[in-house]
Amino acid sequence: MGKTVSEHTVPYVQVLDENGKVTDKELLPNLTDDQLREMMKRMVFTRILDQRAIKLTRQGRLGFYAPVAGQEASMIGSEFATDKEDFVVPGYRDLPQCVYHGYPLYKLFLYSRGHQEGGRVPEDVNVMMPQIIIGAQIVQTAGIALGYKLKGEKHIAITYTGDGGTSQGDFYEGMNFAGAYKAPAVFFVQNNQYAISVPREKQTAAETLAQKAIAAGIPGVQVDGMDILGVYAAVKQAVDRARAGEGPTLIEAVTFRYGPHTMSGDDPTRYRTKETEATWEKRDPLVRFRTYLTEKGLWSDDEEQQVIEAAKDTINEALKQADNAEKMKVEDLIDAMFEEPTTALKRQRAEITGEGAN
């Protein structure tokens, strides 16, 4: 699929260039007009959610938050290629994929606040709670995917990490395990150019992150992460391979985060130049796809404004639901440890509540 960008024969996928023009008609996904419009709606929602979450964090109404602007095509395009029966195993930045795979938005707000209810995923939603440990989700995904294979179920597990995550031991261990057992997994790396402040070129001597798949004996693909159709095409092929029993794939989406690494004090102006940011702003995934859809007669400014207003209402309702959640108590932490508390936990609970240990 696509052309080679390195001596290690890693294919590069792009369907739309930064001007919204089709670069390879053979790779153009077979999607209906309604599906194309739905993709755009989801990207617009994600951008509005990100803007609101940043404001809420500054107001002290959210806890930990990692901005996503710039990565909408990578996030929405990849999840769009999966089925609800597939398992999404996210990192801490991957809240949009969680939302569209069924994770209630109000619970993600509670997750950000550190509330236990935020981690209670509904039974019918195949999403893990966003992983805060860099790379740990790669190992989890290998296990989930192998479980599907052992059960004979035609489902896949897809996981996400950033470029920094590929420098972790868990990244190779999980990918190698999945490759050895031909587990139906997709490892999706969002290369947004910086692991906090460390640029990608200082993390590894590898020409691409996708070629790290070679060591695990699995296919590696690099895709334009600002191109939602390219992302969808690459992930759909990987998902189909996995379902067919052909094993996992590593996908590197070359993208960019417009904001800081997280809202916890990171200042990107200390390690990025204005010139770099200006270059990537010209590649904005929303602008690119908006141009493509508008020229096809599938999108308008009026429709986008309607999506924006609907997004604001959805976010406000989820925030209200999160605000109304029962406040946590210290003893709740103990009660959630085990189905049957140990003697030590009973003693600790009694000390906290002043009640007798039973």
Note if 115 is an active site residue.
Answer: no
Residue the block writes with tokens 């191109």: 227
Distance from the first to the final alpha carbon of the chain: 64
For residue 62, give the amino acid letter.
L
DSSP 198: E
Token representation of residue 32: 């209906």
Q: Write down the catalytic residue from 155, 257, 272, 349.
A: 257
CB 190 within 8 A of CB 255: yes
Catalytic residue among 261, 283, 288, 349: 261
261 in catalytic set: yes
The Cα–Cα gap between 302 and 327 comes to 41
Question: Alpha helices of 158-209 — where are they, by DSSP H?
Answer: 169-180
Instruction: Give Cα 119 to chain centroid, integer Å.
Output: 17
Q: In this structure, what token pair is assigned to residue 241?
A: 């391979």
Burial class (CB in 10 A: 0-12, 13-18, 19+), 189: buried
Give me the amino acid identity at 70: G
Owner of token pair 């391979």: 241
| 271 given a catalytic annotation | yes
3-state secondary structure of 143: helix
Q: Which of 188, 189, 185 is nearest to 248 (CA)?
A: 185
In terms of C-beta density within 10 A (0-12 exposed, 13-18 middle, 19 or more buried), how is residue 125 classed?
middle
Which residues are marked as active site?
Answer: 257, 261, 271
